[in-house]
Structure 1
Amino acid sequence: MIMINKTTTVRVDIETYEGLKKLSQQLNQPMQKIIQEALAEYKRKVILSATAEAFAALKENSELWQEEIEERQLWENTLQDGIEK
């Protein structure tokens, strides 16, 4: 099975292009790879930020936070149930 690498054009301002070009030369990597890796890193950052916000909101709600603590304690008890890994 032959996979065709599809691409498209994305417009960026000249400052962004020059920065990308310079980074490409410094790292000796194609601009496309740098963009792919930057996007993957940005996705991770967005996910971590959303997770941190959700966790902070959970901690602010004392009833839900107490439920979380109780559930954690239940899970910790399962580690001591004598079952070998």
Structure 2
Amino acid sequence: MLNKTTTVRVDIETYEGLKKLSQELNRPMQKIIQEALSEYKKKIILSKTAEAFAALKENNKLWQEEIEERKLWENTLQDGIEK
């Protein structure tokens, strides 16, 4: 399957920054954009995870359930099975 592409419009400042980065890293602009998008997605996932964890900690009942479940999982480490 051929690699499909499309055009995305960016302002001149963004283009110049991308071009400079491409030259500095000796990598194609397309690859830099792909990697940047991937990193941005990871950042969003981590941010949402942190928000959900903070919300969990704010709810005393749910947080206590989480702590109890962690204790159960910790017991599985003491089941006598060697690594």
Q: Specify the alignment match of 1:55 in structure 2.
A: 53
Q: TM-score of the superposition, structure 2-length normalised? A: 0.96
Structure 1 runs, 4 residues or longer, greater than 4 Å off: none
- The 2-side partners of 1:26 and 1:32 are apart by 14
**Which of 18, 35, 38 is the aligned partner of 1:37?**
35
Residue 42 of structure 2 aligns with an amino acid whose one-letter code is: R
**Which of 18, 21, 26 is the aligned partner of 1:20?**
18
Residue 62 of structure 1 aligns with an amino acid whose one-letter code is: N
Q: Can you give the 5+ residue segments of structure 2 that lack an aligned partner in the other structure? A: none
- SS across alignment from 2:16: helix
Q: Can you give the 5+ residue segments of structure 1 that lack an aligned partner in the other structure? A: none
Q: Specify the alignment match of 2:67 in structure 1.
A: 69
- SS across alignment from 2:3: coil
Count of aligned pairs between the two proteins: 83
Q: TM-score of the superposition, structure 1-length normalised? A: 0.94
Residue 68 of structure 1 aligns with an amino acid whose one-letter code is: E
Identity of aligned residues (%): 88
- SS across alignment from 1:84: coil
